[in-house]
Amino acid sequence: MESSPKNIRLYKKALEILILSKSISKYLVHDLAPLEKNGSENQFIYFTGDIVKDSDSLVPEIIKAENQAFQDDRLKHAISLESLTNKLYKNCERLERSESNGKDFVRLLRKELKKFKRLQHNWMMSL
């Protein structure tokens, strides 16, 4: 079985998203970690971990899809990748509603996700 992806642009964009997600998460955690005035946790802090977890799954899902012998199996992983991308995008939208100085960085991640979605669409057509 192959271990490197066939679509290098998609793969590289997924790696960029992972690096960006990790950086944004580290930045936002400092803003969102303090307790609210009423003593409760900031509801947005969990999304910082979610964006890292989901972006960390992009590359493996690309490789899994490309290494499948049967088209149905490739499409199953491609759909899973699409779902991960949509979750990431949704969590970015949620983080943009947080009271954080890092909202502009989250917008940058959403912009990169839009580029990834276009690459992903073309890649899915070639599976």
pLDDT per position as a tens digit, 88-123 = 999 999 999 988 888 889 999 999 999 999 999 999
Burial status of residue 4 (CB atoms within 10 A of its CB: 0-12, 13-18, 19 or more): exposed
What CATH superfamily classification does 8-33+43-126 receive? Answer: 23S rRNA-intervening sequence (1.20.1440.60)
pLDDT per position as a tens digit, 19-58 = 999 999 999 998 888 888 888 888 899 999 999 999 999 9
Per-residue burial over 19-57, b if 16 or more Cβ lie within 10 Å, else e, is ebbeebbebbeebbeeeeeeeeebebbebbebbbebbeb
Contact in structure between 95 and 57 (CB atoms under 8 Å): no
pTM, two decimals, is 0.90
Q: Highest mean pLDDT range out of 4-8, 13-17, 36-40? A: 13-17
pLDDT per position as a tens digit, 59-83 = 999 999 999 999 999 999 999 999 9
Position 1 pLDDT exceeds 60: no
Contact in structure between 67 and 1 (CB atoms under 8 Å): yes
